[in-house]
Structures are given as structure tokens and as C-alpha cells.
Amino acid sequence: MVGLVLVAHSAGLAAEAAALARGIAGADTPVAAAGGTEDGGLGTSVDLIEAALRSVDQGDGVVLIPDLGSSVLTARLLEEDGRVVVADVPFVEGAIAAAVAAGAGVPLSDVLEAAEEARAYRKL
């Protein structure tokens, strides 16, 4: 299965979004949270993202979903062509769409496409 890492400025936001995505996509879906700095502050930690990445990497690729600012910049530093990709999507909607697709066992490009479709979802 394709793995997902949710990268947010806050540990709580990342953890709750990951719990929500797993709740909707299925508990076996490899979704990890990498929120905040290592000392528990607001921000981004490349070490936390790398650890999360390793924990969800089953060999089928990993999608990083950042919230904004330094999360995006740091996630982009970890991109590996065709293996680790950053999704340019709304954080919650993108995470859920990607998790549902990943849980269905589709390949990396399809997970990314599902996440990107979330950008066009209208709530009303």
C-alpha cells in the first residue's frame, strides 16, 4: 500500500487529521503524522517527517501532505522521483481522499490523483 505522511505545523493537528483519515479509510491504511517541532512547538521538523516516512513506507511509495509554509518547503526537500511525492492539496480533504485511495491498494500516481481531485471539491 502507498503510505501517507501528514505534515502540519502542530502535532495535535497532524495527529487528529491522521486519526480521522484512518477512521474513514480503514485502520490498516498506513497514515502517519509529523506535526510540530521536535520540542513540541509549532513548526516543522525534518527528522520527525523522515521517521514518519520510514514508518509508512511499504515499498509502494509515499505521499507527503503538508499544511503550509515551512511544512511545504521541508516536505519538498524529501521528494524522491516516483517514490516520495508532495501533494499540493487542501490538508484535510486531500488527506482523506489520499487515504481512501491508498487503502484501496491503488498505485502511487492514482493516490496522488485522488488527492488532487480534492482540490476541486465544493462544500456547497
Under 8 Å between Cβ of 11 and 33: yes
Q: Going by C-beta distance under 8 Å and a sequence separation of 6 or more, which residues neighbour residue 47?
A: 38
Tell me whether residue 75 is exposed, middle or buried, using C-beta atoms within 10 angstroms of its C-beta: 0 to 12, 13 to 18, 19 or more: buried
Q: Give the shortest CB-70-to-another protein separation in angstroms.
A: 4
Q: If we measure between CA atoms, which residue out of 71, 70, 60 comes closest to residue 94?
A: 71
List the catalytic residue out of 9, 21, 100, 108: 9
Q: Which 62-81 residues touch another protein, going by CB under 8 A?
A: 69-70, 73-74, 76-77
Question: Interface with another protein includes 41 (CB under 8 A)?
Answer: yes
Judged by CB under 8 A, the stretch of 13-21, 40-48, 91-99, 116-124 that binds another protein is 40-48
- According to the binding rule CB under 8 A, does residue 10 interact with another protein? no
What residues are annotated to the active site?
9
Binding site for another protein (CB under 8 A): 36-37, 41-47, 69-70, 73-74, 76-77
